[in-house]
Chains A and B, each alone.
Chain A
Amino acid sequence: GAVVSQHPSWVICKSGTSVKIECRSLDFQATTMFWYRQFPKQSLMLMATSNEGSKATYEQGVEKDKFLINHASLTLSTLTVTSAHPEDSSFYICSARKRDTEAFFGQGTRLTVV
């Protein structure tokens, strides 16, 4: 299957700082990338959908000014958690999809805000 690389795999940051998470499709061009969050023992929650070259579409209840998503190219999307707080600690997962095919997931990033 296609390879999606997410970096970093884990990060610890201080409250009030910003953290950037990268998601790259290594061997295909991703027309769409999705960002998910998963709290322990809960299902994946879609945060936003981004199409290359256009603004991300955020799900209801997700603050777009707090979770900045940039999909600048067909192989790279970034999620920046701005002014992170302990309640933002979670597992963040990206997935990338070629047109009309299944989505492939990155490895996930475990964010801990202290």
Chain B
Amino acid sequence: GQNIDQPTEMTATEGAIVQINCTYQTSGFNGLFWYQQHAGEAPTFLSYNVLDGLEEKGRFSSFLSRSKGYSYLLLKELQMKDSASYLCAVMDSNYQLIWGAGTKLIIKP
């Protein structure tokens, strides 16, 4: 079966760094996505990794290891507005997106 695992909830302090992990087992791989979703809103695209390594985009970075079926999203200089759910999704061999359940990130002052 296809499976995406990520922690249910994480707590971090404003100004700090947090790493949200995602492990996956899917039938084929055509890329991994990270989305941010604030409560009551649609998800917004953060990053797309298809090759191994780290992709940096401002305060957010995303890492992928295809051999380990593993990715993480790194958020630096945390701000209160970063409180949201972060969704990991993998595109399988049929170009379908397989979603993780999301990680709720709570930022404390």
- A-side residues, CB < 8 A to B, are 1, 6, 32, 34, 42-44, 46, 49, 91, 93, 97, 100, 102-108, 110
Task: Assess whether B40 is interfacial by the CB under 8 Å rule.
Answer: yes
Complex Cα spacing A71 to B45, Å: 23
Q: Which A residues are CB-close (under 8 A) to B43?
A: 44, 93, 105
Task: Assess whether B48 is interfacial by the CB under 8 Å rule.
Answer: yes
The 10 closest A-B pairs by CB, nearest first: A108-B42, A43-B101, A105-B42, A102-B48, A93-B42, A44-B99, A107-B42, A105-B43, A43-B102, A43-B99
Complex Cα spacing A43 to B86, Å: 10
- B-side residues, CB < 8 A to A, are 30-31, 33, 35, 40-45, 48, 87, 95-97, 99-102
Q: Which B residues are CB-close (under 8 A) to A34?
A: 97
Given contacts A1-B45, A44-B43, A93-B43, contact A102 B100 (CB under 8 A): no
Interface contact A102-B31, CB-CB below 8 Å: yes
Q: Which A residues are CB-close (under 8 A) to B33?
A: 102-103
Complex Cα spacing A81 to B32, Å: 31
Complex Cα spacing A105 to B46, Å: 12
Pick the contact of B45: A46, A100, A105, A107 (CB < 8 A): A105
Q: Which B residues are CB-close (under 8 A) to A46?
A: 96-97, 99
Pick the contact of A106: B42, B45, B87, B100 (CB < 8 A): B42
Q: Which A residues are CB-close (under 8 A) to B48?
A: 102
Complex Cα spacing A34 to B33, Å: 16
Interface contact B31-A107, CB-CB below 8 Å: no
Q: Which A residues are CB-close (under 8 A) to B31?
A: 102
